[in-house]
C-alpha cells in the first residue's frame, strides 16, 4: 500500500505498519501498477530507438541591440546507443545547444521549445518543464556532461577523490569506500593510475589527464547518455587521439549514447555514427557518417570538407570559406549561409530553407540541394 500511495503521490505516513502487513500479498501487483502509473504520467512519446529529441529548441538572450537567438529553432533526434557528432565553427551555437539539452544555459538566457528525454525513472519527460528536483536527479545519474575546458571543471582546493565522493553524495550514495572503489576502476578504464590520481589536486595533473578524470567522473553514476562539449579543444594532437580512442573503447564496453560537440570534423569522423552540421545557430545538415563521406549536399558542409588539409597531397587545393559568421541579432533574411555561398541566388536571399528529409539517414536545409550531388560549388569560387 505504501508503494501504491507513493505512486499516487499520497504521503505514506497515513498507512500504518499493521495495514502494510495485511496487504503484503499485493506488493508485487502494486509494484507493477506503480510502473504503469509512472509511464501513464508521461504525456510524451519518443519514436523507437530515440532517447533524446529536441523539438523547435531555441536559446535567446535579451541584448541592448535586440534579441539574440544563439540557438534557433532546432529539431533533432538522438538515437540510443549511437554516437552523434555536432560540428560547427566557433560561435555557431554548439555549446549553447548542449546546455539546452540539460537546461543549463548561462543566465539570463531563456530556452524555448521542448527537450524530450527517455528517463528510466520517470518515463519520457520534457527537460525544460519538469520540476527542479527531478531535473537534479536525472542530471549526472541518467544524462551526464563533460564540459568544455577540464581545467575549469574542478575545485582547485580539494583532491580528485573528493570530487568523486561529493558527486556521489549529491545523489544519495554515501558509501565512500564503494565510491572510491568504483572511481579506481573508472580511472583504470581511462588509462590512469588510481592510487596516484585520487590523491592528487587538479593542478598536479596535465590537461589530458584532467580531461580523462572528468570523463571518468561523468561515468560514476552509470548514465546512459553522455554529452561531451569540445572535450579535446585545449589538447595537443596526440592527447586528442588518446581521448577519441578512449571514448570509442568506453562506447564499445558500455553501449552508452554519446553526443560529441566539436569544431574538428576530421577528429570525430572515425568515431561517430551520425553528424549534425551547425551554421548560423541552426542545423543545416544531419546525416549518417556514411552519407557524409558519400554525398554531403550542403555547400557549407562541402566547404568544411574542402578546407581540411590533407596529410599527403596538394595543399593549394585547401581553401577556407570566405566571409564571416552571421550576427545572432540581425541574421540574413534568407538562408543564413547565403552571403558566403557560391551558388546562392533568388530565394536563397529571401527565405531560410527548412530541414527536409531526403533519405532515411539524411536531412538537409538548402534550396539547391538537388544540384549538389557530385557537384563542387567551391571549384571555381
Q: pLDDT tens digits for 315-353?
A: 666 778 889 999 999 999 999 999 999 999 999 999 999
- The pLDDT, as a whole number, for residue 159 is 97
- The pLDDT, as a whole number, for residue 17 is 35
Spacing of C-alpha 300 from chain mean position: 22
- The pLDDT, as a whole number, for residue 21 is 40
Which comes out higher in pLDDT, residue 375 or 199?
Answer: 199
Q: Which of 71-75, 301-305, 374-378 has the lowest mean pLDDT?
A: 374-378
Which comes out higher in pLDDT, residue 147 or 17?
Answer: 147
Computed over its alpha carbons, how large is the radius of gyration of the chain?
24
- The pLDDT, as a whole number, for residue 234 is 74
- The pLDDT, as a whole number, for residue 313 is 66
Rounded mean pLDDT, 295-300: 95
Is pLDDT at 12 greater than 60 in this prediction?
no
Ordered by start, the domain boundaries in the chain are 2-41, 50-272, 294-371
- The pLDDT, as a whole number, for residue 280 is 95
Q: Is the dihedral of CA 94, 98, 103, 108 positive or negative?
A: negative
Is pLDDT at 72 greater than 60 in this prediction?
yes
- The pLDDT, as a whole number, for residue 10 is 35
What pLDDT band is residue 150 in, cutting at 50, 70 and 90? low
pTM here is 0.85
Detail the DSSP E strand segments found in the chain. Answer: 50-63, 66-79, 83-87, 110-119, 123-126, 143-146, 225-229, 257-262, 274-279, 282-288, 356-359, 362-364
Rounded mean pLDDT, 74-94: 95
Is pLDDT at 187 greater than 70 in this prediction?
yes
Write out the CATH class of domain 50-272: alpha beta
Sheet with 143-146, side-by-side order of all strands: 143-146, 225-229, 257-262, 83-87, 274-279, 282-288, 362-364, 356-359
- The pLDDT, as a whole number, for residue 38 is 47
Amino acid at each position: 500500500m505504501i508503494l501504491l500511495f507513493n505512486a499516487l503521490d499520497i504521503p505514506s505516513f497515513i498507512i500504518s505498519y499493521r495495514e502494510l502487513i495485511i496487504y503484503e500479498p499485493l506488493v508485487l501487483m502494486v509494484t507493477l501498477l506503480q510502473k504503469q502509473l509512472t509511464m501513464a504520467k508521461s504525456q510524451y512519446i519518443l519514436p523507437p530507438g530515440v532517447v533524446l529529441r529536441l523539438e523547435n529548441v531555441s536559446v535567446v538572450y535579451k541584448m541592448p541591440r535586440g534579441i539574440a537567438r544563439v540557438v534557433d529553432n532546432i529539431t533533432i533526434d538522438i538515437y540510443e546507443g549511437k554516437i552523434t557528432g555536432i560540428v560547427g565553427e566557433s560561435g555557431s551555437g554548439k555549446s549553447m545547444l548542449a546546455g539546452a539539452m540539460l537546461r543549463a544555459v548561462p543566465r539570463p538566457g531563456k530556452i524555448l521549445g521542448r527537450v524530450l528525454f527517455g528517463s528510466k525513472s520517470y518515463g519520457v519527460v520534457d527537460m525544460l518543464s519538469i520540476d527542479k528536483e527531478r531535473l537534479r536527479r536525472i542530471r549526472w545519474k541518467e544524462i551526464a556532461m563533460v564540459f568544455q575546458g577540464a581545467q575549469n571543471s574542478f575545485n582547485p582546493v580539494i583532491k580528485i577523490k573528493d570530487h568523486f565522493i561529493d558527486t556521489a553524495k549529491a545523489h544519495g550514495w554515501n558509501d565512500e569506500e564503494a565510491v572510491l572503489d568504483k572511481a579506481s576502476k573508472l580511472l583504470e578504464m581511462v588509462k590512469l593510475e588510481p592510487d596516484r590520481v585520487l590523491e592528487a589536486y587538479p593542478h598536479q595533473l596535465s590537461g589530458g589527464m584532467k580531461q580523462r578524470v572528468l570523463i571518468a567522473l561523468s561515468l560514476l553514476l552509470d548514465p546512459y547518455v553522455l554529452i561531451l562539449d569540445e572535450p579535446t579543444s585545449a589538447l595537443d594532437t596526440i592527447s586528442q587521439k588518446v581521448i577519441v580512442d578512449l571514448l570509442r573503447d568506453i562506447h564499445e564496453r558500455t553501449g552508452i549514447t554519446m553526443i560529441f560537440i566539436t569544431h574538428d570534423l576530421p577528429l570525430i569522423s572515425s568515431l561517430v555514427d551520425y553528424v549534425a552540421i551547425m551554421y548560423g545557430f541552426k542545423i543545416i545538415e544531419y546525416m549518417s557518417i556514411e552519407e557524409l563521406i558519400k554525398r554531403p549536399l550542403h555547400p557549407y558542409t562541402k566547404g568544411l570538407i574542402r578546407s581540411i588539409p590533407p596529410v599527403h597531397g596538394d595543399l593549394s587545393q585547401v581553401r577556407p570559406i570566405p566571409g564571416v559568421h552571421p550576427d545572432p541579432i540581425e541574421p540574413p533574411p534568407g538562408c543564413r549561409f547565403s552571403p558566403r555561398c557560391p551558388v546562392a541566388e533568388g530565394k536563397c536571399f529571401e527565405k531560410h530553407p527548412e530541414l527536409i528529409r531526403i533519405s532515411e539517414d539524411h536531412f538537409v536545409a538548402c534550396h539547391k540541394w538537388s544540384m549538389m550531388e557530385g557537384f563542387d560549388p567551391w571549384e571555381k569560387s
